Amino acid sequence: MSKKKQGKLPALAVLSTMAFAGLFMSSAQAATIDNAQLRDVTIASTANNATINFNGTTSVTGNVQVNAQATLGGNSINPLQNANVVLNTTSLTANIPLGNNVTATQQVTVGGSQGGPNVIVKTAAPAADKITVTNNNSPASDTVVVTGLTSGDIIKVYNGATGGSSIGTATAGSNGTATITIQQLGTATGSVWVTRKQGNYEESARVEKAYSAENSLTNAVTAVEGKIDALPAVTALVLADKTAVNEAKAAYDTLTIEQKAQVAAGKVTKLNDAVAKIAALEATTADQATAAPVKESIAALPAKAEVTLNDKPAVTSARAAYTALTATQKALVGDITKLTDAEEAIATLEATTADQAAAAPVKESIAALPAKAEVKLNDKPAVTSARAAYTALTNAQKALVGDITKLADAEAAIAALEAAAVDQAAAAPVKESIAALPAKADVTLANKTAVTNARAAYMALTNAQKALVGDITKLTDAEAAIAALEAAAVDQAAAALVKASIAALSAKAEVTLNDKPAVTSARAAYTALTATQKALVGDITKLADAEAAIAALEAAAAVDQATAALVKESIAALPAKAEVTLNDKPAVTSARAAYTALTNAQKALVGDITKLADAEAAIAALEAAAVDQAAADPVKVSIAALPAKADVTLANKTAVTNARAAYTALTATQKALVGDITKLTDAEAAIAALEAAAAVDQAAAALVKESIAALSAKADVTLANKTAVTNARAAYMALTNAQKALVGDITKLTDAEAAIAALEAAAALNDNKITEANQALAAHTEGTGVDQAAKADRDALGAAIATAQGVYDARATKTAAELSAATASLNDALTTFNDAVITEAEATPTTLTIDNKNAGSTANTTITLDNATGETLNLVGEDDEIATVSVDNDTGEVTVTSVDDGTYTLTVQVMKGGKVVRTVDVTVTVSNQILL
């Protein structure tokens, strides 16, 4: 009798099961599987040293998860060839082939007859949530960072799901992280595919990871900073770094003003210093190239002792080339002694030749002069020319001319001839002027000038010249006559002066004391005359009359003197100017009134009234000072009332301004009385600083206020607005408290932040729900077994996941309500799916045994049904060669009737609406059948 064996193993592994659909081993058991078609096999981490033997035609088409040390054996031929074997353990004994799709999540040793080189192990793929792709703004490179790795893991990045070569690779470090740098992924969104290779395992399957579009602001700044950071220290720069420096500078120059402001100041300084250093290095190289040929041309010159005039072009050329260099290039040339030596040698050689040429004609001109005894005044031009030519020579040239005695003799002869001619010329006109004078008896004072001139001309002559003039008696006679005439003229002049002074006196009746000096002077002058001169004056009655009148006037003046004395005393009694007070004003006023009442003659007798004038000035000053003090005091008080500089606020501006205006209105004297105004100037400086700060605060606040005003209304906010919201918040937080106060209400910002938070929460909830739904879909495979689900239910959940995923992928433009709606819809679909997952039915009992009974004997089990919902029973796996089965859908009773010895597993399904909702396996065993 042939027997068909088919079924499913219960949750705990069992031995020698004939046929089942899945195996889960949770403890160290040994399981033998004969001729079964398995979907999944799992060895839990708690099943260390478990053994599974696959015998006969057994094969696995699903996943084989090995999470503990285990042994896989049996006599089946390649039972795992269609399975996905995942090794999450450090050790495995394989006595059967593991197939062609083996993945290891860690280093594992595979032993056994089919282990070692017989096994091709593929590395476990990296988890997508451990992959981060950063799409930096061009031209900065992009990065792919993978974490959660083992040191030494090789990570590769591809631009497609299949085919092509990798676009980047990296090895994980001791921190379990690998960073792959890619020149550019592109500006738009996209995906990369990442693999992992561990040790000698095969490269893993490719895992897709999506990335966002470039951020045109932050990434560009990061890229530029990265280029700057990559540059060597400025002190270590060489010309080979020029390209890197230029690239960094070019990248910085392409930034906007806003982006440049975000580059760290230290990095900008480093870049600028690097650019300057490269320029300096290039300049040094250029200087070296310029200096080298000059240095060579100097080195090629002959030694000083060997220089000839033929070397002059080379020396001149070297000097011109050196002169054309910059100071830096000259320093690179170094010592130029050889050049200066050559120049000196050339100069010496040229000087010697020139001296010979200069000396020769001078020597010839001296030789051509006549002997001293033969020299005439006509020879003077030749002598003078020879001397001028000789004088113009250098000492070296003069030495070449030699003896110049002939020149000196000729000069002496010319001088003697010229001296004799000069004396004769000087004496002749003097002799003529004396001869022209009149005889002594004829001399008058009119001849005095001629006589004086003749004497002066004679006295100016030398003795030799005077001898040539001869007798001067006529001159001395004229001088004596002039002296006599002048003496008579003096008496006449003296008498005339006195006579005129007497004639000028007032008539007696008109004489005043003011005439006394003139009268006294006239008397004194007359008394001083000689008798001869007095006789020439004549009558002096007018003088005597005037003297009598003066005497009479002086008697009257005594009265004036007494009156003036009283006033003089009152003035003298006044205090000194420095001691005058306002209490002295009556005395000063009285003295002035008394003085004013005097006659002019009496005022003259009082004399100097400076003390009175000083006292009056002092009184005026004191009265003015009182006025000034009265003006200065309130200003001083207003300044003193100002707050200290540190306490000044803009509320004090009016007081400060008023104090300044009041101070400015004062005179210089009144300002001096106010004294130190530091407190005022400090307050003004504080006000200016506060106003400047207020202007800065206003400008800073205005920008932030505008950025907040530009935000979308709360109901319109999407995740696309997050950058603007974040930037607005950052700008606001960077303000001072004063600036924040100027910004005012930031409800729009907080509303936008709340909206973003809600959107992110909704997006995260949506993403979590998608993950939860995907996990449910993966956990409940298609089928009719326990924990499985029908295809239609899985498809419905899959469609709901796709819809939610679409909303999530577009979350940047979705509202929180749309995200929440998508999440709620998916949650409903997930609930529906979970409700549709097949559960294990309640059966009492689950084992039906008919032992040692007649054929046709029965055994019963009861399945719990909900008749109200229309649940019915369906049988799967009935083997009517062993026992037939019947059901009662009203009571849920299942009856088996024995046919022949044997065992099989009967699957009883609870159906509702045409779908399996619950299922249970019932073991049917017929033994020791009594055949009739």
Half-sphere exposure for 697 (CA within 13 Å, toward CB): 15
Shared domain check, 401 and 306: no
Q: What is the pLDDT of residue 451?
A: 92
pLDDT greater than 60 at residue 14: no
Cα 873 to the center of its chain, rounded Å: 83
- Phi, psi at residue 283, to the nearest 5°? -65, -40
- Please provide the DSSP assignment of 895-926 as one string: EEEE-SSEEEEEEEEEEETTEEEEEEEEEEEE
Q: What is the pLDDT of residues 746-783, one digit of tens each?
A: 999 999 999 889 888 888 888 898 999 999 989 999 99
How many angstroms separate the CA atoms of 828 and 831, rounded? 5
Last residue of a domain, which of 426, 454, 482?
A: 426
Burial of 824 (0-12, 13-18, 19+ CB in 10 A): middle
Total of domains in the chain: 7
User: What 8-state DSSP symbol labels residue 235?
Assistant: G
655, 694 Cβ separation under 8 angstroms: no
Examine the domain organization and report whether 202 and 279 are in the same domain. no
* Distance between CA atoms of residues 560 and 581, nearest Å: 32
Q: Indicate whether 763 belongs to any domain.
A: no
Give the model's pLDDT for residue 812: 85
Q: What distance lies between CA 227 and its chain's CA centroid? A: 18
| Cα–Cα separations (whole angstroms), residue 918 to 11, 397, 863 | 16, 139, 10
pLDDT for position 144 = 94
CATH number, residue 144: 2.60.40
CA gap 20, 37 in Å, rounded: 7
Q: In what order do the strands lie in the sheet with 190-197?
A: 168-171, 154-158, 190-197, 207-211
* 136 SS3 class: coil
Residues paired with residue 887 on neighbouring β-strands, in sequence order: 894
**What is the spatial distance between Cα 172 and Cα 149, in angstroms, rounded to a whole number?**
7
**Torsion (CA) 751, 757, 759, 762 in degrees, nearest 10:** -140
E strand or H helix at 25, and its extent?
A: strand 22-25
CA 690 to each of CA 510, 653, 696, 779: distance values in angstroms, whole numbers, following the listed order: 86, 10, 10, 69
pLDDT at residue 358 in the model:
87
* Predicted structure pTM score: 0.32
Q: Do 201 and 249 share a structural domain?
A: no
Domain shared by 178 and 255, yes or no: no
| 258 domain residue, yes or no | yes
How much is the pLDDT for 653? 92
pLDDT in tens, 861-881: 999 998 888 899 999 999 999
pLDDT tens-place string over residues 202-221: 888 899 999 887 765 566 78
Does 240 lie in the same domain as 202? no
Could you give phi then psi for residue 90, rounded to 5 degrees?
A: -95, -10
Instruction: Decide if 278 is inside a domain.
Output: yes
pLDDT of residue 131: 95
Measured CA to CA, the distance from residue 19 to residue 594 in angstroms comes to 156
**Bridge partners for 52 per DSSP:** 31, 72
Residue type for 268, please?
A: V
Q: What is the mean pLDDT of the chain?
A: 88
Buried b (16+ CB within 10 A) or exposed e, 147-180: bebeeebbbbbbbeeeeeeebbebebeeeebbbb
**DSSP 3-state of 856:** coil
Length of the chain: 932
DSSP SS3 for 44: coil
Beta bridge partners of 94: 72
Domain annotation covers residue 732: no
Question: What whole-number distance in Å separates Cα of residue 455 and Cα of residue 211?
Answer: 127
Rounded alpha-carbon distances, angstroms, from residue 641 to 95, 648, 666, 878: 103, 12, 18, 112
With 80 as the cut, is the pLDDT of residue 884 above it?
yes
Q: What pLDDT was estimated at residue 897? A: 94
Q: Please tell me whether the peptide bond between 634 and the residue prior to it is cis, using omega within 30 degrees of 0.
A: no
Q: Check: CB of residue 574 under 8 Å from CB of residue 583.
A: no
Q: Which long-range contacts (CB under 8 A, 24 or more apart) does 716-721 make?
A: 717/751, 717/752, 717/755, 717/756, 717/759, 717/815, 718/759, 718/812, 718/813, 718/814, 718/815, 719/756, 719/759, 719/760, 719/763, 719/811, 719/812, 719/813, 719/814, 720/812, 720/813, 721/752, 721/756
Q: Tell me whether residue 489 is in a domain.
A: no
- How many helices and strands in the chain, by DSSP H and E? 27, 29
| Cβ contacts of 517 within 8 Å, gap of 6 or more | none
| pLDDT (mean) for 334-356 | 88
Both 66 and 151 in one domain: the answer is no
Cis status of the peptide bond prior to 845, with omega within 30 of 0: yes
Residue 786, in any domain of the structure: no
Residue 224: is its pLDDT beyond 50? yes
Band of residue 12 on the pLDDT scale cut at 50, 70, 90: very low
H or E stretch at 110:
strand 109-111
Judged against a pLDDT cut of 80, whether residue 4 lies above it is answered with: no
Q: Kindly tell me if the per-residue pLDDT of 94 is higher than 90.
A: no
Residues of 730-742 as b/e, b for ≥16 C-beta within 10 angstroms?
ebbeebeeebbeb
pLDDT at 96 exceeding the cut of 80: yes
Q: How far apart are CA 487 and CA 546, in angstroms?
A: 32
From the number of C-beta atoms within 10 Å of its C-beta (0-12, 13-18, 19+), residue 233 rates as: exposed
The CA-based angle 125-131-134, given to 5 degrees, is 145
Cα(41)–Cα(61) distance, rounded to whole angstroms? 10
Token pair for residue 585? 């004003």
Q: Can you say whether the dihedral through the CA atoms of 766, 770, 775, 776 is positive or negative?
A: positive
H or E element: which one contains 486? Answer: helix 473-503
Residue predicted with more confidence, 280 or 775? 775
Which pLDDT belongs to residue 22? 67
Domain boundary among 652, 673, 692: 692
Q: 497-546 pLDDT, tens per residue?
A: 998 989 999 998 898 889 889 999 989 999 999 988 888 888 999 888 89
Beta bridge partners of 66: 43, 87
Whether 782 is covered by a domain: the verdict is: no
Q: Which residues fall within 8 angstroms of residue 534, CB to CB, at 6 or more apart? A: 495, 526
**Is 307 inside any structural domain?**
yes
Whether the per-residue pLDDT at 2 is higher than 70: the answer is no
> Rounded distance, CA 671 to CA 674, Å?
5
CA distances from 650 to 24, 576, 647 (A): 82, 52, 10
- What lies within 8 Å, CB to CB, of 694 at 6+ separation is 650, 738
Same domain, 303 and 279: no
| Domain identity same for 594 and 638 | yes
CB 682 within 8 A of CB 660: no
In the predicted model, what is the mean pLDDT of residues 785-805? 92
Rounded distance between C-alpha atoms, residue 419 and residue 377, angstroms: 11
279-306: average pLDDT: 89
Q: What is d(CA 878, CA 127) in angstroms, rounded to the nearest whole number? A: 45
Instruction: Please tell me the predicted confidence (pLDDT) of residue 216.
Output: 58
Radius of gyration of the chain measured on its C-alpha atoms: 68
* 701/28 Cα distance (integer angstroms): 71
Last residue of a domain, one of 256, 285, 314: 285
Measured CA to CA in angstroms, residue 878 lies from 207, 622, 843 at distances of 45, 139, 17
Q: How far lies 8's CA from each of 879, 883, 896, 910, in Å?
A: 15, 19, 19, 17
- Percent of the chain with pLDDT strictly greater than 90: 47
Residues 375 and 385 in one domain: yes
Task: Note the pLDDT of residue 931.
Answer: 57
Contacts (Cβ under 8 Å, ≥6 apart) of 76: 54, 55, 56, 57, 58, 59, 96
What's the distance, CA 923 to chain centroid?
Answer: 85
Taking the chain, what is the end-to-end CA distance rounded to the nearest angstrom? 18
pLDDT level of residue 388 (50, 70, 90 thresholds): very high
The DSSP call for residue 849 is E
Q: Which stretch of 455-459, 560-564, 908-912 has the lowest confidence by average pLDDT?
A: 560-564
Beta strand spans in 163-319 (E): 168-171, 178-182, 190-197, 207-211
**Residue 11 pLDDT > 60:** no
- d(CA 743, CA 728) in angstroms, rounded, equals 12
Contacts of 66 (CB under 8 A, 6+ apart): 43, 72, 85, 86, 87, 88, 89, 92
* pLDDT tens-digit series, residues 626-675: 888 999 999 999 999 999 999 999 899 999 999 999 999 999 998 999 99
User: Is the domain of 137 the same as that of 205?
Assistant: yes
Q: Which two tokens stand for residue 471?
A: 């007798």
- 139 and 92 fall within a common domain: no
> Looking at residue 864, which CATH number applies to its domain?
2.60.40.10
Q: Which domain holds residue 238?
A: 225-285
- Whose CA is closest to 341, among 308, 303, 311, 312? 303
Tell whether 106 and 32 lie within a shared domain. Answer: yes
